[in-house]
Chains A and B, each alone.
Chain A
Amino acid sequence: DAMVIQNPRYQVTQFGKPVTLSCSQTLNHNVMYWYQQKSSQAPKLLFHYYDKDFNNEADTPDNFQSRRPNTSFCFLDIRSPGLGDAAMYLCATSRDLGLGYEQYFGPGTRLTVT
């Protein structure tokens, strides 16, 4: 009965080699978020989609892109991963935007850059 699914759970990529992380949801939520969580730190929002509308955080590097081809799926593309991009990447969903809509998190994808 997993609601927010992330694949793969562990991903190893080489420095500079593009990588794509996947998120899917069974909740039919309008909003999907991508967070970066480095070791022993708080999750940091990269961007979110409200339906098909993409909203980038001001400090998200251009190296990070996202696609949402349909309601259920959202992808995080890292065009040229650097060593500093090694982190846990969390996908989350919420039914709508605004005050008090719970965000449901997936288990995360741990990215290693060699």
Chain B
Amino acid sequence: GENVEQHPSTLSVQEGDSAVIKCTYSDSASNYFPWYKQELGKGPQLIIDIRSNVGEKKDQRIAVTLNKTAKHFSLHITETQPEDSAVYFCAASKGGTSYGKLTFGQGTILTVHP
């Protein structure tokens, strides 16, 4: 089955700096890669996603890049703010018989210091 590795496990930055979280996946058939943000005491919330026919996607301060050949994708957060502090999960999924099943990475605890 699919395996998703996520690094780093913890990331500490100063407010205004950029943060980058990287994930690799094992199944070349995976074609959908969402990123979730989980705040303390809450369920994960989708913040951005990318499909395999796209190399990069941006939404304001958040961007995701995908390298299908290398089977890795990354989340980029620019101009970080204290409210960006949370746990971030990457995930991979493929269509067809896998029913949209998400395989999550292990998570990254992001701390943004004021």
Contacts and interface: CB of A to CB of B under 8 A. Distances in A.
A103 B107 contact: no
A97 interface: yes
Given A99-B93, A99-B95, A100-B51, A90 B44 contact: yes
B95 A42 contact: no
A44 B44 CA distance: 13
Contacts of A40: 107
Nearest to A94: B100
A4 B99 CA distance: 20
Contacts, number: 62
A106 B32 contact: no
A43 B104 contact: yes
A102 B107 CA distance: 19
A103 B102 contact: yes
Interface string A19-43: 0000000000001000000001111
Interface of A: 4, 31, 40-45, 48, 50, 55, 90, 92, 94, 97-108
12 contacts: A40-B107, A41-B106, A43-B44, A43-B89, A44-B104, A55-B99, A97-B99, A100-B32, A100-B95, A101-B100, A102-B49, A107-B42
